[in-house]
A and B are shown apart, each in its own frame.
Chain A
Amino acid sequence: MSAGELQQGIDRLAMVSSQRWLFGTLAVVAAGGASAAASAAGASASQFVVLLILGLASAAAFHPDSHAALLVEAMVVWQWLAGTDDATDPWVIAVASSLFVFHTVIALMAVTPSSAVVDRVLLLRWLRRGGYVLVATCSMWLIVVVMVGRQAPGSALLTFLAFVTLAAFTVAIRAVGVTARSSG
């Protein structure tokens, strides 16, 4: 790296807004928090994996439009899946919430330049939406707890129907989106 490139890099870093640094820190903390929540539920990961998650989260914060964020989410989910057997463990809410915060912050960073300060109205709007999603996540956990408590036997037919429902749901959402687009 030449001195000129180094100076350009330093200049670019100097232009980064303090809010951007805050968002980047929040993204890394959220990813680390998700991994820590999985460890608290019994899915403890090796130090190398934790460092890898934090490194990838940092990379995602610097390059929000890269695939690093997807890798972070995949690794945390894999950590949870490999180390936890209890489907009703309340730590799953912490894992889901942390991953959601990570995803949202990275998405917001991807649409704003590094020197920008996100408008307060916009932040409050995203926070309100995030609150709705977190309420939905807690509701889903309650449903899971109730369903697991019933100890219903597995059924291939029900599983097949669930897949069909999922596909139908996706198509329906897609159709609504297309309708909204044509009317708009």
Chain B
Amino acid sequence: MAHLRASVGAVILVAAALIWRRPDLLVIATPMVAVTAWSVITRPGPAPTLDDHLAHPTIREGDATTWHGVISGEPMVDLAVAAVSPVPWVEARPAGGAVTAAALDGTVRLAVDLRSTRWGTRSIEPVEVHAATSWGAFRWRTRTSRHALTTLPLPSVFDVNASARPSDGLVGIHRSARAGEGNEFAGIRPFHAGDRIRRINWVRSARSGELRVNATRADLDTHIALVVDASDDFGVSEGIDGLASSLDGSVRAAGAIAEHYAPRGERVSLRVFGTATAHTVAPGSGRAQLRRVLDTLARVRPGDPGRTGYRTPASRQPGAIGGQITVMLSPLVSPDALDLAVSLGRQGKTVIVVDTLPAHVSQDDDEYTALAWRIRLLERRREVRLVLAAGIPVVEWRGPGSLDHVIRDIARRSTGPRMAQR
């Protein structure tokens, strides 16, 4: 349009100056003539090429990556513009996602910083790229392909001082719950058929008058089975810098627990229920396992409560569950989660339920919605009491030390006999 305006203006003004003998019109036409001539001389040839990529396709919440685009192959290109479409939970810099750059030696380098504020996998929509010659006379435009951006959850700060049985185990730093052939002394007990002779404690046997053996604990690592309830997502999510929804809390807490245990050699497994597709990670340890867990957590999508028919019930979903310590992270609103916790507890599994329902969930501008939430929370309090009555600890997620108290209790309980329905 600019080239058309300049060239039409130039021709008409020059023609009018000649026809009506108005040389002053030549003065007015001069800029138009100059712009037209300049534009025609710098008319572009073949279409330039665009190479683009994301600097880091996988980042953590709150981190930024950069979209780079390089336009080359056409020396007449004067400037280029790139505009990144708005993507939920992704902040662009410059604000608005549009950047301009001047050509240097026929090459234009464009860069847009993208900061992801919430975990998840999302695609950066095709970037609109425009290039233009001098005076904006000739323009070329293209759209890039989509770029996948995976944002790993940024685990909350988490630490556990309590340990089921602290020791220098062979694999992890926590002792297995099972008694067995190990080196760690667990106590002295009466001799049973099958005990090895070398286990007999002759001094105690002589004192008590019956055979006593030294009991030891099995040299196994701790297995933390993480179970994430993704049936629904309650509350407002404002990304890493603001309020967290229930699923934000669950995912970040699961990431924190995995980050605490997996690099120390403990086995960590993951199972997500309530989603359309099953997400499971088999038990494993180490940093690679941590990365697998975080990658899987990043792919979690909350299940649609209106489409419960398409969801796999918690009890039917495959995946590792019922490890030494099963940590279920749930807002405890879905009946699936409560049922699963109780059924695992009744099987004699060690279960800890972490309540991730955010406090702001009952605050709503609509008084009826707020009232409905308060009623639901009263019902939920009763349901949680039933879970507690089944011997399953329910704790609120508070970051470091959230699980200390319950893990100490579990360590104490595991030394005694337990009842289980089989």
A-side residues, CB < 8 A to B, are 15, 17, 64-67, 69-70, 73, 77, 80-81, 84, 86-89, 92-93, 95-97, 99-100, 103-104, 106-108, 110-113, 115-119, 121-122, 125, 129, 132-134, 136-137, 140-141, 144, 147-148, 154, 159, 162-163, 166, 170, 173-174, 176-178, 180-184
Contact = CB atoms under 8 A, between A and B. Distances in A.
B81 A111 contact: yes
Given A103-B5, A106-B2, A180 B43 contact: yes
Contact of A137 (B21, B30, B75, B135): B30
A116 B102 contact: no
A57 B9 CA distance: 16
Given A100-B32, A116-B83, 18 more contacts: A15-B95, A17-B96, A66-B1, A77-B13, A77-B25, A81-B16, A96-B31, A112-B98, A113-B96, A119-B100, A133-B34, A133-B35, A141-B27, A170-B11, A180-B41, A181-B44, A181-B45, A183-B45
8 A-B pairs closest in CB distance: A115-B96, A107-B2, A100-B31, A116-B98, A184-B45, A181-B45, A177-B43, A87-B24
Interface string B1-32: 11011101101011110101111111110111
Contact of A104 (B14, B81, B130, B135): B135
Contacts of B215: none
Interface in B114-155: 130, 132, 134-137, 139
B135 to A, nearest CB: 6
Nearest to A100: B31
Interface string B233-271: 000000000000000000000000000000000000000
Interface residues of B, number: 60
Interface string B51-80: 000000000000000000000001110110
Contact of A107 (B16, B21, B98, B135): B135
B27 A111 contact: no
B2 A119 contact: no
Nearest to A70: B5
B101 interface: yes
B422 to A, nearest CB: 59
A138 B130 CA distance: 34
Nearest to A41: B24
B48 to A, nearest CB: 10
A121 B99 CA distance: 13
Contacts of A170: 11
B225 to A, nearest CB: 45
A77 B2 contact: no
Contacts of B44: 181, 184
B42 interface: yes
A112 B102 contact: no
A113 B41 contact: no
Nearest to A115: B96
A166 B97 CA distance: 45
A103 B4 CA distance: 11
A106 B6 CA distance: 12
17 contacts: A81-B25, A92-B27, A92-B28, A96-B27, A96-B28, A99-B28, A106-B2, A111-B79, A113-B96, A116-B100, A117-B94, A129-B134, A159-B18, A162-B18, A173-B41, A181-B45, A184-B74
B168 to A, nearest CB: 59
B125 to A, nearest CB: 15
B22 to A, nearest CB: 6
Contacts of B26: 140, 144
A96 B25 CA distance: 9
A113 B98 contact: yes
B83 to A, nearest CB: 5
B25 A147 contact: no
Contacts of B74: 184
B40 A173 contact: yes
Given A96-B31, A99-B28, A108 B94 contact: no
A173 B5 contact: no
Contact of B43 (A103, A118, A181): A181
A23 to B, nearest CB: 12
Contact of B5 (A73, A77, A97): A73
Contacts of A147: 23
Given A99-B28, A103-B31, A117-B100, A176 B40 contact: yes
Given A103-B32, A122-B79, A141-B27, A111 B96 contact: no
B411 interface: no
